[in-house]
Structure 1
Amino acid sequence: MIRLAHLRMVFLESIGYTYPLLFATIYKILHFLNYDIVQLLVWLPRVVQACLSALADIKLLSLVQRLESPDVAKWTYFCQLCSWFTWYCCTRTLTNTMETVLTTMALHYYPLPGSRTRNSSKYLILVALAILVRPTALIVWLPLLGWHFWQEGDKLKLLSHHALPIGALTLGTSTLLDCIVYGKWTLVQLNFLKFNVLHNVAEFYGTHPWHWYLTQGFAVVLGPHLAFFLHGSTLTPKRYRILLITIIWTVMVYSLLAHKEFRFIYPVLPLCMVFCGFSLASLKAWRRPAACALLVLNLIPALYTGLVHQRGTLDVMSHLRQLCDVSDPQPEVLFLMPCHSTPFYSHIHCPIQMRFLQCPPDLTGNKSYVDEAELFFADPQGWLQGAFPKPASLPSHLVFFDVLEKEILKFLELNRYAKNADVFHTHIPDGRVGRRIFVYERRV
């Protein structure tokens, strides 16, 4: 157990504290003001993230207004605001969301031809912050930084007066913060590279074929905007070619990585909206019907994924929060679900005992390594009997998806567990993730 905990901490050292510090500060202020109630702990970080995303949207509008006609700017902004994937992600406190926010803001100050931007420091600071939040932001910015360097007349000044000082200051500040929090010397960005490139740790959480972004991922993220993006790519002026190159480059580089997720390419979505804006602005007679169709076709998945799909893991935490009022016996909750399926103490905010199945990646090269979650799902009944040989060690509550119920029914009946909550989760069950979430309570 000590070795496992050590490995987990080593893996966590690939995660920087620059972004979490924002929400830690919010929590500390709430605590200082004695307003650290669970509703604010849950909702305030989302509201802050939504405000930052809204500011990035305004910066995108301002960029296109500066370069193009009001018509193109208006339709670019419209496309950004009605994107279903933007709705789905923009309030989520994911590093990908903050990476997208900082990338969009940086693009506002980026020296595109005709933008009349002369101060490189503003955009480079935002790029540096994006890379600190999520080092893979460098993938998006490599072609943009390379193009700027190629076009820059005074390359030495760009490096010595802007790029190097900004890079050194942001990296130094971030490293100092991480060292203070971790309590020892650590370079998070180097650890991120080591774990995700050299050790291929991300593959531990699933792989996709190389063409997944090309055949599925990119089309799903763009959704109904895809046709407008393709059309707009043929209409935009030459100065936007670097944005198109950046989009293609990013998708191709991410295609080389085995572990793929839709959110990884979220940062290029605002770039795509520029091309969609050109497309809608050029339609003239068909513009209004096309805009209405785009809005409706985005509204349906936006509302479904935002309000209905996979909501059970949040709703069940509201139910478990009632246990905060129980003192005798002390509640103990065990989540028998794929690891990290639910939020944790931020949605409970009381010191009841909770535990979920662990799934830390192996960093030792042990080819026979199997994490706790896999061991459990290989033999749920046997695992439970081995983990709780005595009735006194049993948790008071078990939380699991409905697909698991039949496999552990004998254990539940033998130990006098009874269902006390049935929560809807999704219309589209997948493998170990069921349609509903059950909460079983032990009757003593």
Structure 2
Amino acid sequence: MENIRARLKLGNKVEDVKLRKRKSLLYSKEDENTFNYGVLRARVVALSVVFRLINCFLVQSSFVPDEYWQSLEVSHRMVFNYGYLTWEWKTGIRGFSYPLFFAFIYKILHFMNYDSVHLLIWLPRIVQALLAAFADVKFFFLIRRLENHDIARWTFFCHMCSWFTWFCCTRTLTNSMETTLTSLALCYFPLPRSKTHSSKKYLALVAVAVIVRPTALIVWFPLLVYHFWKEDDKLRLVTHNYIPIGTLAVVISALIDCVFYGKLTLVQFNFLKFNIFHGVADFYGSHPWHWYLTQGFAVVIGPHLPFFLHGCTLAFRRYKILLAAVVWTVTVYSFLPHKEFRFIYPVLPFCMVFCGLSLARLTAWRRVAAAALLVSNLVPALYTGLVHQRGTLDVMSHVQTLCDISGDSTRLQPDVLFLMPCHSTPFYSHVHCPLKMRFLECPPDLGEEAYVDEAESFFDDPLLWLRNSFPYKSSLPTHLVLFDVLQQEISGFLQGNNFVRTAEIFHTHLPEGRVGGKIFIYERR
């Protein structure tokens, strides 16, 4: 009997030891998983931040005027009380919320007495790059939750090597911020197989995106409808999420705009009225309805296109809502006459999901395909970032040097005239001194009396315009900035008024129309 009891006790002790070992192994496994996840997260964060900062400093070209005139120029005027506001800010179709973000940065620099022109130019872009890096990290872990680590890795690779994302994401464009917010909102959206989502978080981010750029609602409309359709408690979704968050966004946006416009201004309504109902956007060019299908989308997605098409065949059912959002966005923008590549940029992260699935499936040719994808994106990324259309930024460095003599009463005060298509260059945000500068204006015809498109009048007959504008030598500007294609046409005016070329700046290898390959600066002696 005693032997039996001893054996039972020994057996119990052995079982206790085994149980403790199992528990210790379980805990160590959890600790190991936590450690691995922490290491992975740190690596992805470090990679994204370093990559986007390099990205930021290797993009030294201009894209479209809005990256300055609808952000930094407005911010500079808000903080330093001098600058130029385009017609959009006089008619109330632009919101001050996005420029206020950069104005806050400018105000801090001004308060600390660090408001050098280089920091005013680069710090907003660095902040934009860090936000893009944060969105990159969230995007990687979203795909990792939806799929597996291998697919997440290849999707992240596709996303990071996209030439158009490289070209746009660090710019101070409303489209860049809209895309960053869209990518972040997607991380909290109730996608199929997504176990962690938050209606309030994703709707708040969508609301901010719409405040920054009202057209963000185009991208999110099918996604909002999908969420409503799939939600069990539809009434609660509308009354507790859609209506409160949407109303709060409109109220905050209206309050900010009322403060800076000095009157009640509903920017979203004005934006819709001028661009859609009055067709003001058509003034800046129009394209055929098929432009996005035949050119725009192919350029934006670039060498990723075959992988995107292959990925659509693999995951059509699984991610049909993302594909529907891409098709819907391209279709809606196709019906609008004025078209630009950047308008469809926010759907690019959606496309990368399909590209990653495609690359992960190509097991036999994966490395070859990845190398080809990297190289084919690297060439346009570096060329458009470092070479193409850089002259309009470089010329402002030359103009900025005139600030050193603008306060010298013993010398002729600089007076710079830009004889270029309107808004070709940034303005006071890249000079940061109250230098006398002027450019050819080109507001659209809003039905006002005596409407004049100054830029069009000039290019119709440059010599006549110059003679009428400057009948006396005393009224002439001290410096002229122009593209090389204009030089021959006004050479008589330049020689007759003792203008001497002092700088020749490369702009592009692909001159077109009134935009030349080089920019000349002439100084009156």
* TM-score normalised by structure 1 residue count: 0.96
Secondary structure in 1 matching 2:187: helix
Residues 78-133 of structure 1: per-residue CA shift (max 9 Å, x gap):
00100000010011000000000011100000001211235310000000111111
Structure 1 residue corresponding to 2:465, chosen from 369, 383, 398: 383
For the Cα contact (< 8 Å) 1:42–1:346, is it kept in 2? Answer: yes
Residue 435 of structure 2 corresponds to residue 363 of structure 1: no
Distance 1:11 1:254, change over 3 A: farther
Distance 1:118 1:272, change over 3 A: closer
Residue 494 of structure 2 corresponds to residue 412 of structure 1: yes
Output the aligned Cα RMSD.
Answer: 1.5
Comparing 230-239 with 141-150, which one deviates more in the overlay? Answer: 230-239
What is the CA–CA distance in structure 2 between the aligned matches of 1:381 and 1:441, rounded to whole Å?
A: 18
What is the CA–CA distance in structure 2 between the aligned matches of 1:174 and 1:50, rounded to whole Å?
A: 24
Residue 495 of structure 2 corresponds to residue 398 of structure 1: no
Distance 1:438 1:397, change over 3 A: same
What is the CA–CA distance in structure 1 between the aligned matches of 2:430 and 2:85, rounded to whole Å?
A: 27
For the Cα contact (< 8 Å) 2:422–2:440, is it kept in 1? Answer: yes
Total equivalences in the alignment: 438
Structure 1 residue corresponding to 2:426, chosen from 328, 343, 350: 343
Distance 1:7 1:232, change over 3 A: closer
For the Cα contact (< 8 Å) 2:207–2:246, is it kept in 1? Answer: yes
What is the CA–CA distance in structure 1 between the aligned matches of 2:349 and 2:89, rounded to whole Å?
A: 34
Distance 1:146 1:182, change over 3 A: same
Residue 454 of structure 2 corresponds to residue 372 of structure 1: yes
What is the CA–CA distance in structure 1 between the aligned matches of 2:86 and 2:398, rounded to whole Å?
A: 33
What is the CA–CA distance in structure 1 between the aligned matches of 2:301 and 2:452, rounded to whole Å?
A: 37
| Match runs of 1:245-324 below 5 Å | 245-324=324-403
For the Cα contact (< 8 Å) 2:316–2:323, is it kept in 1? Answer: no
Shift of 1:8: 2.6
Secondary structure in 1 matching 2:318: helix
Partner of 1:191: 270
Residues 409-444 of structure 1: per-residue CA shift (max 9 Å, x gap):
11111111010000000000000000000000001x
The amino acid that maps onto 1:409 is S
Shift of 1:322: 1.0
Residue 383 of structure 2 corresponds to residue 329 of structure 1: no
- Higher Rg: 2
What is the CA–CA distance in structure 2 between the aligned matches of 1:351 and 1:335, rounded to whole Å?
A: 16
Secondary structure in 1 matching 2:239: helix
What is the CA–CA distance in structure 2 between the aligned matches of 1:126 and 1:244, rounded to whole Å?
A: 21
Partner of 2:42: none
What is the CA–CA distance in structure 2 between the aligned matches of 1:270 and 1:332, rounded to whole Å?
A: 45
Partner of 2:202: 123
* TM-score normalised by structure 2 residue count: 0.82
Shift of 1:9: 5.8
Secondary structure in 2 matching 1:238: coil
What is the CA–CA distance in structure 1 between the aligned matches of 2:176 and 2:289, rounded to whole Å?
A: 24
Residue 520 of structure 2 corresponds to residue 441 of structure 1: no
For the Cα contact (< 8 Å) 1:80–1:270, is it kept in 2? Answer: yes
Unaligned runs of 5+ in 2: 1-83
Secondary structure in 2 matching 1:19: helix
Residues 226-249 of structure 1: per-residue CA shift (max 9 Å, x gap):
000000000116231000011011
What is the CA–CA distance in structure 2 between the aligned matches of 1:331 and 1:10, rounded to whole Å?
A: 28
What is the CA–CA distance in structure 2 between the aligned matches of 1:430 and 1:350, rounded to whole Å?
A: 32
For the Cα contact (< 8 Å) 2:480–2:521, is it kept in 1? Answer: yes
What is the CA–CA distance in structure 2 between the aligned matches of 1:61 and 1:246, rounded to whole Å?
A: 20
Secondary structure in 1 matching 2:319: helix
Residues 141-163 of structure 1: per-residue CA shift (max 9 Å, x gap):
01000010011111111011111
Distance 1:238 1:9, change over 3 A: closer
Structure 1 residue corresponding to 2:99, chosen from 20, 24, 44: 20
Distance 1:247 1:6, change over 3 A: closer
The amino acid that maps onto 1:35 is Y
Partner of 1:425: 507
Residue 172 of structure 2 corresponds to residue 90 of structure 1: no
Shift of 1:12: 4.5
Comparing 272-281 with 349-358, which one deviates more in the overlay? Answer: 349-358
What is the CA–CA distance in structure 2 between the aligned matches of 1:315 and 1:150, rounded to whole Å?
A: 52
Distance 1:40 1:122, change over 3 A: same
For the Cα contact (< 8 Å) 1:399–1:439, is it kept in 2? Answer: yes
| Match runs of 1:143-158 below 5 Å | 143-158=222-237
- Runs of 4+ off more than 2 Å: 5-12
Residues 306-356 of structure 1: per-residue CA shift (max 9 Å, x gap):
000000001111111110111321101000001110011111111110111
For the Cα contact (< 8 Å) 1:11–1:195, is it kept in 2? Answer: no
Residues 239-291 of structure 1: per-residue CA shift (max 9 Å, x gap):
31000011011001100000000000000001000000000000001000000
Distance 1:304 1:429, change over 3 A: same
Secondary structure in 2 matching 1:400: strand
Partner of 1:35: 114
Structure 1 residue corresponding to 2:156, chosen from 77, 80, 85: 77
The amino acid that maps onto 2:195 is R
What is the CA–CA distance in structure 1 between the aligned matches of 2:289 and 2:228, rounded to whole Å?
A: 31
